[in-house]
Every structure is written in structure tokens, then in C-alpha cells.
Amino acid sequence: MTSQAGVQSSIDPAEVERFSRIAAEWWDPRGKFAPLHKFNPVRLGFIREQALKRFGRDPDARRPFEGLRLLDIGCGGGLLAEPMSRLGFEVTGVDASERNIGTACAHAAEQGLAIDYRATTAEALLAAGEPGFDVILNMEVIEHVADPAAFVRTCADVLVPGGLMIVATLNRTLKALALAKVGAEYVLRWLPPGTHDWRRFLRPEEVRGFLQGQPVSVDGPFGVAFEPLTGRWKQSADADVNYMMIVVRDGVWQPPAKAKRPRRAAA
């Protein structure tokens, strides 16, 4: 598909429209995005843990990631972008849905957060020569795009050398079909029917294969599982349903240059 200024895009218009229709519900913890609200703590913990390790930041600091640029691709209403901003990242949130971006902008303004939200695509960022990002969050997006291989390669291309991308998605297994599709959508009604297409779920080896030959290293999968007794998600050795992958761009990461303070005029 072609998007802004004739740039080829991997977005799927039908998927964009599906999420646009319910954009106003992003911040309702009991609405259609309730599962993401419950899923957020384990995602945030994993992101923080990996970023602290990669960039050698102080785990006890209130805003440990000051000075680092983060791209939340497919940001939706900002459920990840806002806590990332509070941790000190300079956050850019991108989504192909203008309605999602409108919701995200309004909520960030209410919270007093300065987040650079844009209704655009990864391909458009790359074509425009956007400066590279230290961290890219590619969370529960890749299974909704028309060309997942091109999409994830494009995202990797806007990482700085040594930069970190985290990809989260659903595994194409019978267990995922039973739990994440049939169970979550039709039995438990956690998600609106039709939210996911099991045929578009991706096995970890497929994600790894998409990036073969690219200047990156790939680690994972790191499983995420639901605990019925506690009602919480946790990191797990079981990657049969939900999992995350770590992608690091080749090269030595360079700390961002500190802005020089202007010299005072001589008295």
C-alpha cells in the first residue's frame, strides 16, 4: 500500500479502521482494551529491565532514561508511551490511525506529558530521514500489518547503532488459537470478536527469519503467560501463546551528546 507522499507502507487499512472505531476506549480499564491494561505491567517491567541492561542506567533513578529517544510504533492511545515518558525517555508515538493519535494526544495533555504523537508510519519516518531511536517498542503490532517482514525490517532501520527494539506478538500454535483467539474473543469475551486473525500470528522463528541478513542480532522468545489464580500476567518459559523478542542493531551504542550550556557574557 502507498501512504504519505507516495511512500510504500505495510499497514493494513482494514486493521487501522478496526482499531479506529474503538479509539475512544483506550483509557477505559474496563472497556474493550481492558486486556491491555492488565497486560501492561509485565510489558513495562520487561522493557525497563532490558533498557536498563542495554544502556547501563541506574535502576534506582526516578527517570533513568533521560536523554534517550524512544519510538512507540503502533502506539494506539498511548498506554506504553505515557509510562515511558515518565521514565525519562523522549517519546515519539506513531500510529496509522488519526483517531488513535487524537485520543493519545488528548490524554497526554491531561497528564501534562510532552509526547510527540504523529499519525504516520514507520516507512514514512524512514523515508523522511528521521534521526535514529535508541529504543523502539513494536508491541502487539506486527500481527496486524499487511507485510510483517517489510514492517519489522523498516523498524530495525530506524534504530541507532547498538539500539534496542522489543517485538511482542502472538505465536501461531494450536494453544494460541484455543486461548488467544477462541477463548479470549468468544468464550471469555476479553476482546471484541475479530480482533485477531490466528493465521497472522507469527512463530518466533518467522520473526527471526524476517531479520536474517539484516545488521541486527535477535534474542528470544521470552514467554508471557496468564495466571488464572492471581489474574495477572507474568514472564514465563512458555512462549506458546504470547512472547517477546529482543532485536539489537549492530554497532557500538554512543551515549547522546549533552547539550552545551551557553557561555555567560564577560562582566
* Gap between the terminal Cα atoms of the chain: 61
Task: Give 202-225 pLDDT, tens digit per residue.
Answer: 999 999 999 999 999 999 999 998
Three-class DSSP category at 139: strand
Query: Residue holding cell 517489510?
Result: 150
In 3D, which of 39, 27, 32 has the Cα closest to residue 190?
32
In 3D, which of 231, 100, 216, 99 has the Cα closest to residue 167?
216
Given a cut of 80, whether residue 6 has pLDDT beyond it is no
Instruction: Specify the fold of 4-249.
Output: Rossmann fold (3.40.50)
Query: Residue holding cell 534504530?
Result: 159
Given a cut of 50, whether residue 38 has pLDDT beyond it is yes
In 3D, which of 205, 220, 215 has the Cα closest to residue 159?
215
Whole-model pTM: value is 0.85
Strand order in the sheet with 242-249: 116-119, 90-95, 69-73, 133-139, 159-170, 242-249, 216-227, 232-236
Task: Give 224-249 pLDDT, tens digit per residue.
Answer: 988 877 878 899 999 999 999 999 99
Q: Could you tell me the residue ranges of all domains in the chain?
A: 4-249
